[in-house]
Amino acid sequence: MKEGIHPDNYRFVVFKDMSNEYAFLGKSTANAKETIEWEDGNEYPLIKLEISSQSHPFFTGKMNLVDTAGRIDKFRNKYAKFSKKDAAADNNEEAAGE
C-alpha cells in the first residue's frame, strides 16, 4: 500500500438502504449530515443509499420493472437538436453544393 495517499479519518457509520429500510454498520470517510441511533445504543453518522445488496436485482434474484418510457423521453429530449429535420436540411445543402 502506498504511503500518504489513503485517508486517516475512517470512522463507523450506518449505511441505510432507503428502498427497503435495510441498514448496516461499516466504516467510511464519507461526510454525513444526519445521525442515527444504532442497535448498540450509540449514535453514528447516517449515509443514505438508493440501492444495496438487499435491494439489487443481481443479489435478490428479483427483476424490477424499469421506467423505460421515462428514459426514452429523456433521451429524445436530450438529442432533439439532432432530429431528422436537421439531417434532411444538411442533405439538401450538400445536394445543392454539388
Q: Residue ranges of the domains in the chain?
A: 1-64, 65-98
Amino acid at 85: K
pLDDT in tens, 23-62: 999 999 999 999 999 999 999 999 998 888 777 766 566 7
Q: Is the dihedral of CA 70, 72, 75, 77 positive or negative?
A: negative
Mean pLDDT calculated for residue range 65-83: 74
Q: How many Å apart are CA 9 and CA 43, to the nearest integer?
A: 17
User: Any idea what DSSP says for residue 20?
Assistant: T
Global pTM?
A: 0.56
